[in-house]
Chains A and B, each alone.
Chain A
Amino acid sequence: MYVAVKGGEKAIQNAHKLMARDRRGDTSVPSLSLKQLSEQLYLSVSRVMAEGSLYDAELAALSIKQSRGDLIEAAFLMRAYRTTLPRFGYSKPIDTAKILIRRRISATYKDVPGGQLLGPTFDYTQRLLDFKLAADGEAPTPEMHKFEKKEVVPRVTDLLNDEGLIEPDELLAPDAPVGDITREPLTFPADRDLRLQNLARGDEGFLLALGYSTQRGFGRTHPFAGEIRLGEVEVDFFMEELGFEVPLGTMTVTECQMINQFQGSASTPPQFTRGYGLVPGQGERKVMAMALVDRSLRAEELGEEIDSPTQDQEFVLSHSDNVQATGFVEHLKLPHYVDFQSELELIRKVRKEWQEKREASEQELVAEAAQ
């Protein structure tokens, strides 16, 4: 049991003041603007939006500034902020087929219709520190090429679908309820809608490690990155007052379709199965890891043996949220004086008993030896 403490207000105030001073750092260096953060550290901003589960680049930038770049603390600030706002409702599901593509690659088809569009990527860089970037911040002007006005960029999974080689997406009745972990606590077993929501806001590092573990043999998934997309997609919202859907503008998302081997079962022929990843902002590593974990968590549905952590819903979904995790781990540093006092008393008592027992048995042994 945790017993609260009182007092210390002045010291706490002073500590926060000291933190704010340290956060500002050397005052001869200009303070960061939110625009600088959201423009130049967009991948951090994306991570905070995903794990804070709130799409707003400016707020994410403020969270990062306030948390001194501690991205989990920043996600925590985003989660706290969202609780202060009313919920207008749910959007119509976004259509990632209609994305304005900024990057689109497939590791499965070389000549995929629509092409391999590398976009702004770290891939194929040599990971050498760029000291020119340290010296100035000048950006090159990107090349421009002609593009097909009407070119459609079909989903890679639809191409396989034509041949029946891949499982189609499961459709539910249009009015089927969609679970929401911000409204109802998670219970097990959790359906895929809840799992995907949990994973979309889950910690990138945790999901990365889990995804990696499936590749190394803990719940073998044998995946291929069927398709990764990055771009802007329109968000539509049904307005009761108007009786029709209205566009709210566009948001940046990253999507990953992972394609996995499947042996087939009594009722289904061998075919490829799929794992899915989708996050707000630009988060390629996150969506790939999410898709691997999503596929692993479908073990039960696909009749696979469950023998590794990533296939275990409760293990994955109960520990993926870094705001929850940090709350429980970090609460250990708060005063536990009373708890510890009682533990101290207890251990003194048990030790005393142990000592007495031991002395008694030693005396017994001595007495036996004397006989």
Chain B
Amino acid sequence: MMVSSHNEQSLEIAARQSAMGILAKASAQDLAKAWKTLGLEPNYAIIRPAEIGLVMVRGRAGGTGAPFNMCEATVTRCAIALDDGTTGFGQALGRDKQKVLQAALVDALWQQPKHRDLVETKVLQPLASTQKQAENETRAEVAATKVDFFTMVRGE
């Protein structure tokens, strides 16, 4: 029993991380548009107002070795609570306060069983598919620059 509930919990976390990833990656405009299609106007209290700060981004020496600090990046984050006490967190690279507020609201709604499906279909799936499409376009464009060099034999 313990094992399965532990598994469920980590699956839930993984799903939430993936949702947060989609929200963080989304452009502010795309997220605002998707938010509108939800048609929800939940009441919420602000736990932590949107705040701009820095995260020191780390790399690894040689790609896989010991960590080092590469450079800082601007990050904005905020936290809200819905009426039933569900807390939502929004955070993303950059300085867009409106975007992370909407991300926090989506995060909170996603945790409510009655709203999860709606959030998935109206917000997360469309954003994810836009992102996947952009990624595929990049990969297709880069694939067109794949080069086959051939080595000339010297002295012939």
Contact = CB atoms under 8 A, between A and B. Distances in A.
A279 B145 contact: no
A186 to B, nearest CB: 13
B55 A88 contact: yes
A200 B71 contact: yes
A145 interface: yes
Contacts of B69: 90, 178-182, 193, 197
A82 B145 CA distance: 38
A185 interface: no
Interface string A89-115: 111111011001111000000100001
A3 interface: no
Nearest to A49: B71
Interface SS of chain A? mixed
B75 interface: yes
Interface in B8-47: 13, 17, 20-21, 24-25
B73 A56 contact: yes
Contact of A196 (B68, B141, B146): B68
Given A117-B142, A197-B70, A93 B94 contact: no
Interface residues of B, number: 55
A251 B6 CA distance: 33
Interface stretch (B113-121, B122-130, B132-140): B132-140
Contact of A147 (B25, B61, B77, B143): B143
Contact of B57 (A91, A100, A147, A247): A91
B65 A96 contact: no
Given A246-B89, A247-B24, A53 B72 contact: yes
A196 B13 CA distance: 34
Interface string A76-90: 000000100111111
A276 B63 CA distance: 8
Contacts of B67: 93, 178, 193
Given A55-B57, A89-B55, A147 B68 contact: no
A245 B139 contact: no
Interface in A40-55: 49-50, 53-55
A142 interface: yes
Contacts of B105: none
Interface residues of A, number: 78
Contacts of B149: 110, 116
Contacts of A117: 142-143, 145-147
A62 to B, nearest CB: 11
Interface string A225-265: 00000000011010101101111111101010100000000
Contacts of A118: 145-147
Nearest to B87: A241
Given A87-B56, A110-B151, A248-B75, 19 more contacts: A49-B71, A54-B54, A55-B57, A56-B73, A56-B94, A58-B95, A88-B53, A91-B58, A97-B63, A118-B145, A182-B69, A197-B69, A241-B89, A244-B13, A249-B24, A253-B59, A274-B62, A276-B63, A280-B73
Q: Which 4 A-B pairs have the closest CB atoms?
A: A169-B65, A247-B21, A55-B73, A144-B140
Interface of B: 13, 17, 20-21, 24-25, 51-75, 77, 79, 89, 91-95, 135, 137-151
Interface of A: 49-50, 53-56, 58-59, 82, 85-94, 96-97, 100-103, 110, 115-119, 142-147, 155, 157, 169-172, 176, 178-182, 192-194, 196-197, 200-201, 234-235, 237, 239, 241-242, 244-251, 253, 255, 257, 274, 276, 278-280
24 contacts: A54-B73, A55-B72, A82-B72, A87-B56, A94-B60, A101-B142, A116-B146, A117-B143, A117-B146, A118-B145, A118-B147, A143-B141, A144-B143, A146-B143, A172-B66, A197-B68, A237-B91, A241-B89, A246-B20, A247-B17, A247-B24, A248-B92, A249-B21, A280-B70
